[in-house]
Copies of this chain bind each other. A is one copy, B any other.
Amino acid sequence: MINNEIVNKIKSLKSDSGTHSPSIESILINCPEISIDVDACFLSNPYATDLFVDYFNNDLIENKKLRNYLEFYPPQNRQIAKVISQIIGVDFNNIFVGNGAIEIIQAVLHRYVGNNLCIVLPTFSSYYEFVKPTTKVHYFYLQKEYDFSFVIEDYLKFIKFNNCDSAVLINPNNPNGGYIEKDQILYILEELKDLDVVILDESFIHFAYEGNDMANMSIDYICKTYPNLVLIKSMSKDFGIAGIRAGYALLSKTRVDELLSNGFLWNVSGLSTYFFQLYGNKKFQDQYEIVRKNYILNTKMFISELSKIHGIKVYSSKSNFVLVELLVNISSFDFTMYLLINYGVYIRDCSDKFGLEGQFIRIASRSFEENHKIIDSLKKCLNEFFDQKNIGF
């Protein structure tokens, strides 16, 4: 049986969190009766966090350098941009560093997006929530009937038909994990080169792959070719450091200069500075690449196992999460609550996601052991449902 008191508390936390999941911390504080074993809402590589924490402990704690990063003003934006420039080989004049990718998304939506913005649905909600009141949003729906696949020519026609001056693409897309191949993305950018702004959000690109070598699919290098492009890079997911708030964007020098000319002073914290310094360390880069590729393998195996489970449909994903449709007669919210309260597995109910009609959940790939627990719990939960034994809604 489900505990309605807990459900109501979580409903209230959810309403405080807007179109995002309540954090695991706020659930634990407000519902001490719940024990969360696996946070499968959280889209982040836990092995990358392990690697980061190892370096952090050694560099800052054992070498007693942490105080410097807490006490003093961090370097200014351009100084961090120079560090990133060394890592990715892009001119620092094209790099703008943010307090997480979300600060950059906000700035670009408020300053550069024009009157007609094309957004692909389903998507990350901030892209439509943070637009200016004067921006009309045109939604290009991915169709459930076509497995949420992205048809380029339809997309380009839609933009033209609606006279869009701005567009957002997330690749791989959140929340369905659909991936547009590199050649196709380059084709799209060329076709959209006359728009005022094309935002390409590569927050999950480190989890995508095309060949067996699982090479990094980012198109960092293209930013000079298209002055209308804003390429957004979150460090939260790939490096597993969401609490630090590190992100950057690649965009035209003109726009970087404009942004820095009247704001964004000291917006990069001490710890974010430390992260970017660490990212510049060759040994760290090599270790990170191993961790990144292992996590992709782990995720592929996870998705493959999920796909075998009876009673759900798993959509194709090249990210570190999957969109899952419940084929049983239960709402996604109720299912999410049941899994959380009875199995300690916290997944993302997608009932508040625009463009997803039906019973959808999103499940993140976590560590090998956690993924096993997720699979096991899902199976048990669905079996209970089929047996109609314990589920009482």
Contact surface of A with B, Cβ cutoff 8 Å: 16-18, 20, 23-26, 42, 44, 46, 49, 52-53, 56, 61, 66-76, 78-79, 99-100, 102-103, 106, 109-110, 126, 129-132, 236, 240-245, 261-267, 269-272
Contact = CB atoms under 8 A, between A and B. Distances in A.
B23 A72 contact: yes
Given A100-B266, A102-B265, A262-B131, A69 B243 contact: yes
B75 A23 contact: yes
Copies of this chain held together in the complex: 2
A20 B243 contact: no
A130 B259 CA distance: 10
Contact of A269 (B79, B106, B269): B269
A49 B74 CA distance: 15
Contact of A73 (B23, B78, B130): B23
Given A49-B70, A56-B66, A99-B267, 8 more contacts: A23-B72, A53-B70, A71-B243, A99-B103, A102-B266, A131-B262, A242-B266, A243-B269
Contact of A130 (B25, B240, B241, B262): B262
B25 A72 contact: yes
A4 to B, nearest CB: 24
A243 B74 contact: yes
Contacts of A109: 262
Contacts of A18: 76
Given A243-B269, A269-B271, A53 B72 contact: no
A345 to B, nearest CB: 17
Q: Which are the 7 A-B pairs with shortest beta-carbon distances?
A: A243-B270, A106-B263, A73-B242, A245-B269, A130-B262, A70-B243, A49-B71
B240 A71 contact: yes
Contacts of A243: 68-74, 269-271
A70 B244 contact: yes
Contacts of A70: 49, 52-53, 56, 241, 243-244, 271
A244 B266 CA distance: 10
A264 B110 CA distance: 12
Contacts of A132: 262
A128 to B, nearest CB: 10
Contacts of A272: 269
A251 B289 CA distance: 46
Question: Most chain-B CB neighbours within 10 Å: which of A16, A71, A79, A272?
Answer: A71
Nearest to A270: B243
B245 A129 contact: no
A103 B267 contact: yes
B269 A244 contact: yes
A57 to B, nearest CB: 9
A19 B26 CA distance: 41
A102 B272 CA distance: 17
Nearest to A19: B265
A296 B53 CA distance: 38
Contacts of A68: 25, 243
A261 B264 CA distance: 20
Contact of A75 (B25, B106, B126): B25
B271 A79 contact: no
Contact of A42 (B53, B72, B76, B236): B72
Contacts of A241: 70-71
Contacts of A126: 265
Contact of A79 (B26, B61, B263, B270): B26
